[in-house]
Amino acid sequence: MHPVAFQTVATDGSARAGIATTANGSYTTPLFMPVGTRGAIKYLSADDYDALGAQIVLGNTYHLMLRPGAETIAHLGGLAKFAGWDGLTLTDSGGFQVFSLDPRVDDDGVTFASTYDGSKHRFTPETAVATQQLLGADIQMVLDVCPPLPSPPDVVRLAVERTSAWAARARATHMRTDQALFGIVQGGISETMRSESARRTVDLEFDGYGIGGLSVGETRSEMVPALAAAIEHLPADRPRYLMGVGDPASLVDAVDLGVDQFDCVMQTRLGRHGTALTSQGRLNLKRIEFALSDDPIDDTCACTVCARHSRGYLRHLFKTGEPTASRLASIHNVAWTIALMDRMRSAIVAGTFTSLRDDILSVWG
């Protein structure tokens, strides 16, 4: 394995700005990673990723192994080349998607049906690693057990036990020296189980550490203590990745605790349906009051959409069902979030992160 070396550039409290170095390139943190589920961020191309300043784009193992198949992607040069993308890539294990489909789970792995044709598939920690080695992302994630919230303690306990056992099996299987392997911490909203899961995962010595099973319905006041309990046991010289979290309040809270990287589908999902992220909160672009508005989505945003298009134009596109509407709003939301992470990094370096956090929470908290 190739450990992802993490160098801390600056700290402000527990918040940290850093540089993480993989076998194939470096990325700066705090970092937001857009999600390209089936090999593309919906409505966007690799040219857009460059223009947005994305550093890592995610792919979804579950979807890609079903269509077009991991062997096909390997034949075509791996995920980044397949997508025409020059930056870094990360694949999730497919665990979250598998568990959201209510599969049959046992100690060895999971059996699930394809969302495309209903065909049955078997997924184990070993096949998750092998599939992701074929996909060839710069970072792959172990297969974990993501319990729904709320779950009784015995369900969370079983998820922690299986996640730990599966992580050891993944660690033993992974062979690509040019690809990092991240472990995943589970434990629901229990601080005790989060601490235990973190310690057990770190004992296996992964290249970086994901924190899964949060932002699945719990409140921020429940998420933050559980997250803090996990981070306390994660090493300072490895990246920390809070999986599936992208709302601005949770982003700034997590960076405040020392998280480095994030991913979320929220930015593009909201954009496709006409909701924009702004410095004043969420904005519904379909509202009648914007019909005659010449204002940009957000006059503090430097993205290409805000530089060129008005709220009135975007409302027109959404109301007439023009697909360009979803594309433009998605570009804005991803650009706005990447810029937010850049502001956090600058504030950490300047020692003004607490002030920025208070400003963000005053709007989004």
> Is the confidence at residue 293, as pLDDT, over 70?
yes
The answer to whether residues 31 and 52 touch, using CB atoms and an 8 Å cutoff, is no
Query: Which residues fall within 8 angstroms of residue 359, CB to CB, at 6 or more apart?
Result: none
- 65-95, pLDDT tens digit by residue? 999 999 999 999 999 999 999 999 999 998 7
Q: What are phi and psi of 6, to 5 degrees?
A: -115, 120
The answer to whether residues 266 and 33 touch, using CB atoms and an 8 Å cutoff, is no
Catalytic status, residue 144: no
- Scanning the structure block, which residue is given the tokens 């650009």? 335
- 218-270, pLDDT tens digit by residue? 999 999 999 999 999 999 999 999 999 999 999 999 999 999 999 999 999 99
pLDDT confidence of 102, banded at 50, 70, 90?
confident
Among candidate residues 12, 92, 138, 253, the one labeled active-site is 92
Where do you find CATH 3.20.20.105 in the chain? 5-264
The mean pLDDT value for 264-282 works out to 98
The encoded tokens of residue 273 equal: 């349906």
CATH superfamily of 5-264: Queuine tRNA-ribosyltransferase-like (3.20.20.105)
User: 353-364 vs 248-257: helix axis angle to the nearest 10?
Assistant: 150
Within 13 Å of residue 215, how many CA atoms lie on the same side as its CB? 20
pLDDT at residue number 238: 97
The encoded tokens of residue 211 equal: 């924190």
Concatenating the DSSP letter of every residue in 235-282 gives -TTS-EEETT---HHHHHHHHHHT--EEEESHHHHHHHTTEEEETTEE
* Other beta carbons less than 10 A from residue 60's beta carbon: 21
pLDDT at residue number 2: 58
- 183-200, pLDDT tens digit by residue? 999 999 999 999 999 999
- 103-133, pLDDT tens digit by residue? 899 999 999 989 999 999 999 999 999 999 9
H helix or E strand, kind and range, residue 52:
helix 46-52
> Is the confidence at residue 1, as pLDDT, over 60?
no
The encoded tokens of residue 67 equal: 């269509």
Spatial separation of the C-alpha atoms in residues 108 and 74, rounded to whole Å: 26
The answer to whether residues 22 and 239 touch, using CB atoms and an 8 Å cutoff, is no
Catalytic status, residue 92: yes
One-letter identity of residue 96: F
pLDDT at residue number 6: 97
The encoded tokens of residue 76 equal: 């075509």
Within 13 Å of residue 309, how many CA atoms lie on the same side as its CB? 21
* Distance from chain centroid for Cα 300: 25
Cα 178 to Cα 1, 25, 98, 151, 170: the distances in Å are: 7, 11, 27, 38, 16
pTM: 0.98
Among candidate residues 138, 253, 260, 263, the one labeled active-site is 263
> Is the confidence at residue 3, as pLDDT, over 80?
no
Maximal C-alpha separation, the chain = 61
Within 13 Å of residue 136, how many CA atoms lie on the same side as its CB? 20
* Distance from chain centroid for Cα 251: 11
